Amino acid sequence: MLDIKLLRTEPDIVRENIKKKFQDEKLPLVDEVIALDKEFREAKQKAESLRNKRNVVSKEIGMLMGQGKKDEAMAKKTEVTDMAAELEALSVKETELEAEIRKRMLVIPNIIDPSVPIGKDDSENVEIERFGEPFVPEFEVPYHVDIMEKLDGIELDPARDTSGNGFYYLKGDIARLHSACLSYARDFMIDRGFTYYIPPYMIRSSVVTGVMSFAEMENMMYKIEGEDLYLIGTSEHSMIGKFIDTIIDEDKIPQTLTSYSPCFRKEVGAHGIEERGVYRIHQFEKQEMIVVCKPEDSKKWYDVLWKNTVDYFRSLDIPVRTLECCSGDLADLKVKSCDVEAWSPRQKKYFEVGSCSNLGDAQARRLKIRIKGENGTYLAHTLNNTCVAPPRMLIALLENNLNEDGSIRIPEALRPYMGGKSVIEVPNK
């Protein structure tokens, strides 16, 4: 959410930013907020003037009563009563105006970083850098579900019976490999100085509206019937929510956290909740990174975060690239974002396995996350990034470590988490 002072003083900057994000339908919101804000400030100023006048008149009542001028005092009391009624009406008006302003401010997009490429959608995202050499073996690489089924590592039909499309059972060594990726990611991030957390998997609506845009909320979140609780779509939601309405001493900044959680997503509007695939699903697990820092340090931490993901995948011999998200592909709260994409030998192209985002002070403003320094308090900046999210990354791991006979080479970094195994063999039928 933007600072309303920006709309008061430089509304053209806000309008231009809306145009860069190709959201022209939101342009009227700028004038609406300015008009509502003017009305709000006028009501507030009138209320303040009335309170001062009421205080003066109240003192006069005491003086008049002391002088025995009862009739004049009673007239003043009537005047005070009328002012109290007017103040009550103004208070109601202020509350209503404040709510209308906030409703609009929540959907006006954050100001994007000048370095963000301008484009309408993800088709105009820009490749930044590649890490590792993409490799296509001489033998055909099967579809990832076929690889897992050959290894007796997945059951989709029972999952459809219990839960529907977009769910799965992992089993045996494939399930173990899935867990190994997460355990390794946990230790990988701890070794890089991040504090490990397991957060709540449900959050209140006040946190949901603080961490994400309404469009994301509608398309992602599962609501718990009859409760003010939502299942998290990523542990970032809980972890940023942990700081709601807090003031953090400057000497305790930055806060660098890494969290594990299951994630639940409706995937409304997503094309192809595949009957056989595990690329886009309703339930998965993830190791996340979260940083709360000073505004001047957020660009530095942004680079640290995406590089952590690149290093994690490269330690598993998976080629990756980074992709700068263009203006039209950025969620409204984001200042800047890049995707990390892994190489798929089967498709002979890269696919998304993680996303790194700098949200500036947008979440901090919504959730009142502040830092206390020598010169007072100020809003923090928040960032988040995916370290790893299997089973999606499992697709890249299996394809890039597949042997011609269908067995899987286990990267050295994962072997301690696999009981020392170096290969997942195809079981004898």
CA 334 to chain centre: 9
* Residue the block writes with tokens 């995707």: 339
What residues contact residue 328 under an 8 Å CB cut-off, 6+ apart?
21, 22, 118, 119, 120, 121, 124
CB atoms within 10 A of CB 418: 19
Distance (Å, rounded) from C-alpha 416 to C-alpha 388? 18
Binning the chain into helix, strand and coil, the percentages to the nearest 5 are 45, 20, 30
Tokens of 336: 């800047």
Find the catalytic residue in 341, 355, 366, 370: 355
Is residue 79 part of the annotated active site? The answer reads: no
Q: Return the residue matching tokens 């007796």.
A: 152
- Whether 42 is catalytic is no
Distance CA 214, CA 234 (A): 16
- Reference 177, options 10, 409, 428; nearest CA is 409
Helix and strand counts by DSSP (H, E) for the chain = 13, 18
**163 catalytic residue (yes or no):** no
Contacts of 111 (CB under 8 A, 6+ apart): 2, 6, 13, 14, 17, 335, 360
Say how far apart CA 390 and CA 176 lie, in whole Å. 12
Element (H, E) at 378: strand 376-379
HEC readout, 74-134: HHHHHHHHHHHHHHHHHHHHHHHHHHHHHHHHCCCCCCCCCCCCCCCCHHHCEEEEEECCC
Selecting among 39, 98, 274, 352, the annotated active-site residue is 352
Give, rounded to a whole angstrom, the gap between the first and last alpha carbons of the chain.
58
**CA-to-CA distance for 364 and 80, rounded, in angstroms?**
41
**Token pair for 94:** 């202020």
Per the annotation, the verdict on 280 as an active-site residue is yes
Q: For residue 356, which phi and psi values (nearest 5 degrees)?
A: -110, 130
Q: What angle do CA 315, 395, 412 make, to 5 degrees?
A: 30
| One-letter amino acid of 385 | N
Residue of 102, 280, 409, 415 marked active site: 280
Options 15, 285, 392, 399, the catalytic residue: 392
Which residues are 388's β-sheet partners? 287
Annotation marks residue 355 as catalytic: yes
Catalytic residue among 15, 265, 365, 370: 265
Q: Catalytic residue positions?
A: 265, 280, 352, 355, 392
